[in-house]
Structure 1
């Protein structure tokens, strides 16, 4: 149970609502900012303003899956006001206060270092990333169906990257009857790809296969689908880039050439917010319990 802990939520989408419900179920004292437009707020929770007094009371702060952008703006689709993570506000947090997010950009990490709070990135946990790969793969398949006029069954698909998302996606496409090639950055992944029945190749060698590609799914967060590669793709090829913004595709050149290229980060929160929220809620509550249990043991 989280009895006696004050957890402050700052912004977030439908996933965050599930996390709030979980914390309430575990008897935490929950304070929220950035939910004034939510039609059905959790029972017993009222929207508040972001003030130093509120943050002084926080045992834990929870930010959205993407903590904030490079200007410190916190995503708050359920709010009519802009939320900004400012150093002056967050300097009032008690030293060592855990601040949870899915992944932290440079701005948040810098403020954390200057103000002395600890940033915990839930998407760095293997269990969260693996669970999240399931709605990500389903969302990618949904987009492929929406933006093509042929079936995935029998199509030639390329998955770039064989991390947790790439692995789940390749297996999903294979299950739908696609011919799957996987572009790898590590040679050690080649054996696993062969064992799974996929055709591995070095990701930077994509140009060798361009003439036969129907769908490209990129999970690598660096420029990998270059103009040179795109120039050799068939006109009907669709690129779905799942990497964090700005993605790993030259979208400008793809548009110029008439190739459909879609940037689609954050699919779990779009296609399955309830499931994605439950994944984050379980990981968050477990982490908080471990955090404060450890402190109690040390005390």
Structure 2
């Protein structure tokens, strides 16, 4: 239980509603910021403006999985107000206050560091990333069906990267009957791809492995699908870039070439927000519980 814990939940999308439900169930005290247009209320939680919250009593701050932008703005679909998480706000919190986000950037890192607060990036955890790979793959399947005129079965599909998402993507498309080749750099990943019964290739040979593909699915958050690579693809190739913004694709050149390239980060929140929210809520509640126990142990 999280009785006695004051948590500020700032902004978000439908996933955040599952987080709120879970935290209320565990008896936390919640201040909801950026939810003024939310139709239904939550018993045990109060909708507040940023300047109405007494941050000196806030034990934890939960922001959306996307974190903030580089100006400190927190995205929310439940308000038209511009919501900023600033260094001054964090300074008002107790020293033990922890900020929970999915990812971070230079702005968020900076204000957390300058105020000596702790930042937990949920998407860097293996358990969250692996659970999240499931709705990500389902959304990718949906996009391939919507944007191609062929079946997945017998299609030539290249998956770039064998991380936590790449592995699930490759395995699932192979199970649907696609002919899957997977590009990686690390020798152990090349070996794992071979062990999975798929066709491995080293990313240094990427240009030679896209000349006959129908779909290219990128999971690598670095420039990988350059103009040189895209120029070797058939005109009908569909590119789906699952990497975090700005992705790893030269979208300008893809458009010039007439190749459809789609940037699709955050698929779990689009195709399965309830499940994606429950994944975040379960891990977050566990972390908050551990943090509360640690504090009690140190008192």
2:32, 2:47 within 8 Å by CA — same for their partners in 1?
yes
Partners of 1:168 and 1:176 in 2: CA distance: 12
User: Secondary structure of the residue that 1:265 maps to in structure 2?
Assistant: coil
RMSD over aligned Cα, in angstroms?
Answer: 1.1
The alpha carbon displacement at 1:96 in A equals 3.2
Tell me whether 235-244 or 66-75 shows the greater mean CA deviation: 66-75
Distance across 1 between alignment mates of 2:296 and 2:185: 43
Residues 234-279 of structure 1: CA distance to partner in whole angstroms, max 9, x if unpaired? 0000000000000000000000000000000001100000000000
Q: Please list, as runs of the form range in 1=range in 2, the aligned pairs for 1:24-35 lying within 5 A after superposition.
A: 24-35=24-35
TM-score by length of 2: 0.97
Cα distance in 1, alignment partners of residues 220 and 53 from structure 2: 41
Pair 1:82–1:122, CA change in 2 (3 A): same
Shift of 1:46: 3.2
Aligned to 1:80: 80
* Pairs within 5 Å for 1:87-236: 87-236=87-236
Structure 1 stretches of 4+ with a deviation exceeding 4 A read: none
**2:199 and 2:132 mapped to 1: Cα distance?**
25
> How many pairs are equivalent?
299
Alpha-carbon deviation of 1:52? 7.1
Taking the aligned partners of 1:204 and 1:94, their CA distance within structure 2 comes to: 50
Q: What SS does the aligned partner of 1:182 have? A: strand
My pick for the range that moved more, 76-85 or 278-287, is 76-85
Distance in 2 (alpha carbons) for counterparts of 1:278 and 1:75: 20
CA offset at residue 119 of structure 1? 0.4
Structure 1 position 53, deviation (Å)? 4.4
Q: What SS does the aligned partner of 2:268 have?
A: helix
Aligned-pair CA distance for 1:37: 1.3
Residue 12 of structure 1 is matched in structure 2 by 12
1:142-169 residue CA offsets vs partner (Å, 9 max, x unmatched): 1111110111111000110000000001
